[in-house]
Amino acid sequence: MRALGSGDIIYIIMAVRWTLLLSLVAFLGGAIGGALVALARTSEFKGVRIVSAGYIKLFQGTPLLMQLFLAFFVPGLFGWSVDPWTAAALGLSLHASAFLGEIWRGAIEVVPRGQWEAATSLGLRYWPKMVLVIAPQAIRIAIPPTIGFLVQLIKGTSLASIIGFVELTRAAQIINNATFRPFTIFALVALIYYVICRPLSAYSKRMEQKLLVAAR
């Protein structure tokens, strides 16, 4: 055991960049997958809706920690070597796609049926109707819950430490193992997460209030 020094604090703070980068990659990957899932959930084809619903149930009904374990260990069964960064990005992206897909599906279905019927009466098929009429309205509705999920995703990156990816939480564990100052170290980590997530939470709440006022 050694004393906790300024270099240790800097090491923890510098690990924030990996937490933010992992959050960004997972959110972008989840956004692409989530858009496909949302469109599949609102598809005109029953089979596509059933498959996408099963995908959502699978990832929403199992722990994120288990999903990260599977993303890290399963490729090895087929002879593929996956590093912790790739496994964490893949696991979190798949997790995010299921949740964002369901959030965005809800936003799409909240759009008044009159808008769907008006677009259909203009002769628009599914894709033009979705892109030109439904999606612009759904995006506005989906912003608050999407930002709220992003906050959860940022905090969820801490679980990547279990497969060896050195982000904020893992960096704190490494320093704590050397200095045994858990209260100081993890209080700092909690403060960093709060500083990152609090503005996003406040923005999400503000956008939600604006939507409520506009709906009245």
Please enumerate in sequence order all residues whose Cβ is within 8 A of that of 165, keeping only pairs 6 or more positions apart, or say none.
Answer: 18, 22, 84, 85, 87, 88
Residue 50 near residue 113 (C-beta atoms within 8 A): no
- What pLDDT sits at residue 212? 66
Provide the residue count of the chain.
216
User: How many Å apart are CA 175 and CA 14, to the nearest integer?
Assistant: 13
- What pLDDT sits at residue 213? 56
Which DSSP symbol is given to 134? I
Report the half-sphere exposure of 163 (CA within 13 A, side-chain side): 25
Three-class secondary structure of residue 28 per DSSP: helix
- What pLDDT sits at residue 130? 83
Q: Which domains does the chain have, with CATH numbers?
A: 6-215 (1.10.3720.10)
Each residue's pLDDT tens digit in the chain (216 positions)? 778 888 999 999 999 999 999 999 999 999 999 999 999 998 888 999 999 999 999 999 999 999 999 999 999 888 888 999 999 999 999 999 999 999 999 999 888 888 888 888 888 887 888 888 888 888 888 999 999 999 999 999 999 999 999 999 999 999 999 999 999 999 999 999 999 999 999 998 888 787 765 555
Buried b or exposed e, range 116-136, using 16+ CB within 10 angstroms? beebeeeebeeeebbeebbbe
- What pLDDT sits at residue 196? 96
Which DSSP symbol is given to 130? I
Which amino acid makes up residue 27? F
